[in-house]
Chain A
């Protein structure tokens, strides 16, 4: 199979949603239906180009796009050690994986909002902001420049903040949006401060160039901490998670699904900072003292992850609001990812356990995919129930399985997947995490398994109280939700079942290249920049 490769696919992946966002207000003047179709086409086109890019990157390795110059100059400057002046898009397997997740979530959410948002005003702005948010996420994931990362982070934050406040007649929604914007503004400003600290020492902004030069001075450590903590806050790890349940539960469901993508993009930022920007010492492990920083950072991440898992599950058990419950479950799921990533970070420097570190990292990355799909499906189901019954509180639900047959099936699948029951996809990634953390410390693994069981209990409660039980008289006229919402849920369910049945296929094709792109041993100038030079000289651009 030979797909056509364009040298400017990375730019188009971001440019298409941006252009679509600029055109949406004009298109919506003509017709509402046309606008919806237009947005879906734009998302589909973006997805197509992400697919092309993924195919290209997975087959040929890292792909680079230079903005505004002929590439020959850039090759020369890289080879001769001259500074990089322009903004580069550097796309490796990890970026492509995250971009794929964002696009899938965005596509599904756009289809879902066709009927879900039908009765609201201001839909042209809604779709504009939606496309901008997707473009921001994609930019964060593809860019190779620290300042550009900050710019796209801000685009994502502002767009999602305005979307969280979409139902402005509800005070809680506006409140949640304000909390979100305060948190993200402060986080982004500290990220900018860290970028400036790095710039002050090395006079460079490119991630690869910085990564090859970092010396672990005091200022470097300060910058590392600022970056990591701000990104962790944006990813919603305990104890900085409090904005997440507010934002997730107050936003319209379709926006929440896209917000998951934004959160995961911040998580991607953490991965990039830990493994690429500060990953230089990982490449020459044995005789380097700086590895202490990594094991310390990994230990801290594991600690936070365990707290996250426990707190998320325990808080979820008590929630009555459907979406808030799922939000706490999403926090717990986030803990699993960080458990895998943190174990990888701690153990990779240790030659005896490095194999298990790699497995843990793979499990963490695989869990990113699974979490996005599972939690996204659950949020879509919650939105469907809200659409059908105008009810958010679990206390006032009951017996809905009679009216919403398909939705019940989708929820059941999402329930099994999110709580890690075999044979769903959640189990496949969780078993990787359990078995590799067991090698580090059995207690971690035991806590993770116990909390997974508790998570199942939480969702059994939801299933019982919302769908089971006798038919409630007030829900007599409730009908099945419209087709577009069912299609959206169906797409995600199909992907979940596919991944659940063939996990090794996904791991071999997508996850392992991503993990290996993050942890690349060997190389003199720093692995990332080395690979860029190679890809230039091989004509991979």
Chain B
């Protein structure tokens, strides 16, 4: 290893990148349901990151609210409206 990192540091580098990738997916995907799932994945990764940053309280809250309820509300809204994003 050039950078000489231990496991925790690698996780601190990899997880934020994954979070950003998931958020980019959430914005880019045309299918809104898929975007909602991407938001859920982002929330789950975020909650993992919170756990690694020594915040288990927030991690539980984020997993319960961010990953579960937010997705449920988003899916309800998508069912009530329209699934696909229109093109320009």
Indicate if A touches B (C-beta under 8 A): no
Residues of B in contact with A (beta carbons under 8 Å apart): none
